[in-house]
Amino acid sequence: MSKILDIEKIREDFPILKRTIEGKPLIYLDSAATSQTPRCVVEAIEKMYFETKANVHRGVHTLSQEATDKVEAAREHVRRYINASSIEEVIFTRGTTEAINLAASSLGDSFCNGDEIILSVMEHHANIIPWQLLQRRRRINLKVIPMNDRGELLLDEYEKLFSDNTRMVAIAHVSNVLGTVNPVKEMVAIAHKHGVPVLVDGAQAAPHMKIDVRDIDADFYAFSSHKMYGPTGVGVLYGKKKLLEVLPPYQGGGEMIKHVSFEKTTFADLPFKFEAGTPDYVDIAAFDTALSYIESIDIREIEAHEQYLCDMATRLLNEIPGMRIFGNAPHKSGVVSFLVGDIHHYDMGLLLDKLGIAVRTGHHCAQPLMTACGVEGMVRASFALYNTEEEVQHFVEAVARVAKMF
């Protein structure tokens, strides 16, 4: 029995969990796609709209200053949360996808034909396509770290991929499909030995474990608020100050400049150089509340609870005849991806939905990984702090029931 968190009390914070689907209580097992949002975060959004809505970083009037203070307080909170050295290293974006596009686009300016970027086979498309788009501007090559049958990256093979032309490594901290927690600290150390910077895609790590960018020594680290009980439309790109300082801006527009003339424009200091236009300041302010919510529970307890549910789901699912679980690394975060016999993932997802259970089906925006696993899609259950043992039990019974129908 998991005694780690007072789940019933936590569930009270998430009104959506009281919903029914097809007359059945909702069992939400798709938090890796997007997590649900506690009442306090929605209230923070409402309060901002009703009391403090004004554009930020401009205007001397009180509302604008209050709104600016909230955004900058959120930035300081993110800094603390990931243990960055300074707020200049915290850039707000629309999400992980935009954060990686920003990094790839700005870094790409200095890449030359023949340069190489190392990615892994388990990357989400958000950490593949921005680098492929760069290939339109520069004839760079992508090299791919392979994995073993358990879904662990092969570090020996990784080391062999480095050459004099390697300019960048971009890897997921946690796979959104396999749940593998990659040894990013070790992988960063290997890259740094070769003088190569590393971008870590933390979209699936930041909601589940303590992130310390300085301990990992990541050069860039990207994540999304909406997977961390926060609002949609907000993400973060952390970057080491000395690297960000020399990168060109990603987008141009208001608030990212020092001085503009038609002859010559100079850019604002960090982090504003990378934040063109009006940011999603309402949601950034509410992200601050989401981080406080996580801290009020303690990320280590959340991690232990999710680990417990994941282990339980894996053990019970494995008892179902024909079950194939993808990703069996010893160090896994809270997702279980699977197929049963030759039941199409889409059919499984639809039938589970009829039983009130929300899972994700398909290629999970990781088609190269699907190809490596020899499948077109999978069913994925992902866990968050509000899921219960009873839900896992119901979910496994439902999968077994659907399996019997075919």
Tell me which residues are annotated as active site: 365
| Preceding amide of 146 cis, omega within 30 | no
How far is it, in rounded angstroms, from Cα 315 to Cα 323?
A: 11
Site for ligand 7TS in 154-183 (CB under 6 A): 172, 176
Told to check if 345 binds ligand 7TS by CB under 6 A, we report no
The dihedral over CA atoms of 335, 153, 183, 313, expressed in degrees to the nearest 10, equals 20
Told to check if 35 binds ligand 7TS by CB under 6 A, we report no
* Strand-pair category, 27-28 with 357-358: parallel
DSSP 3-state assignment of 403? helix
Beta carbon nearer to ligand 7TS, 358 or 398: 358
Told to check if 124 binds ligand 7TS by CB under 6 A, we report yes
Told to check if 364 binds ligand 7TS by CB under 6 A, we report yes
How many Cβ atoms sit within 10 Å of the Cβ of residue 8?
9
Told to check if 201 binds ligand 7TS by CB under 6 A, we report yes
- State in angstroms the smallest separation of the CB of 108 from ligand 7TS: 19
How far is it, in rounded angstroms, from Cα 239 to Cα 237?
A: 6
Query: Which span sits near ligand 7TS by CB under 6 A: 21-29, 191-199, 274-282, 357-365?
Result: 357-365
- State in angstroms the smallest separation of the CB of 101 from ligand 7TS: 9
Single residue of 32, 206, 211, 398 touching ligand 7TS by CB under 6 A: 32
How far is it, in rounded angstroms, from Cα 172 to Cα 296?
A: 27
Distance (Å) of CA 111 to CA 161, 162, 167, 182, 201: 18, 16, 8, 27, 20
Told to check if 203 binds ligand 7TS by CB under 6 A, we report yes
Single residue of 108, 360, 373, 385 touching ligand 7TS by CB under 6 A: 360
Distance (Å) of CA 136 to CA 120, 140, 166, 226, 361: 21, 9, 18, 31, 31
Beta carbon nearer to ligand 7TS, 140 or 170: 170
**Number of amino acids touching ligand 7TS (CB under 6 A):** 17
Nearest of 107, 69, 73, 98 to residue 87 by alpha carbon? 73
Nearest of 286, 404, 346, 393 to residue 29 by alpha carbon? 393
Beta carbon nearer to ligand 7TS, 119 or 399: 119
Beta carbon nearer to ligand 7TS, 68 or 179: 179
DSSP 3-state assignment of 354? helix
Beta carbon nearer to ligand 7TS, 197 or 235: 235
Told to check if 115 binds ligand 7TS by CB under 6 A, we report no
Query: Which span sits near ligand 7TS by CB under 6 A: 17-25, 48-56, 84-92, 197-205?
Result: 197-205
- State in angstroms the smallest separation of the CB of 190 from ligand 7TS: 21
Site for ligand 7TS in 209-248 (CB under 6 A): 224
Single residue of 17, 126, 297, 385 touching ligand 7TS by CB under 6 A: 126
* Strand-pair category, 257-259 with 235-239: unpaired
How far is it, in rounded angstroms, from Cα 187 to Cα 313?
A: 30
Please name every residue paired with 338 in a beta bridge, in sequence order, or none if there are none: 325, 379
Single residue of 68, 106, 204, 387 touching ligand 7TS by CB under 6 A: 204
How far is it, in rounded angstroms, from Cα 116 to Cα 165?
A: 6
Site for ligand 7TS in 79-108 (CB under 6 A): 95-97
Instruction: Classify residue 118 by burial, with Cβ atoms within 10 Å: 0-12, 13-18, 19+.
Output: buried
Single residue of 7, 21, 26, 33 touching ligand 7TS by CB under 6 A: 33
Residue span 276-315 as binding mask against ligand 7TS, x where in contact by CB under 6 A, dash where not: ----------------------------------------
Which residues would be at the binding site for ligand 7TS (CB under 6 A)? Answer: 32-33, 95-97, 124, 126-127, 172, 176, 201, 203-204, 224, 360, 364-365
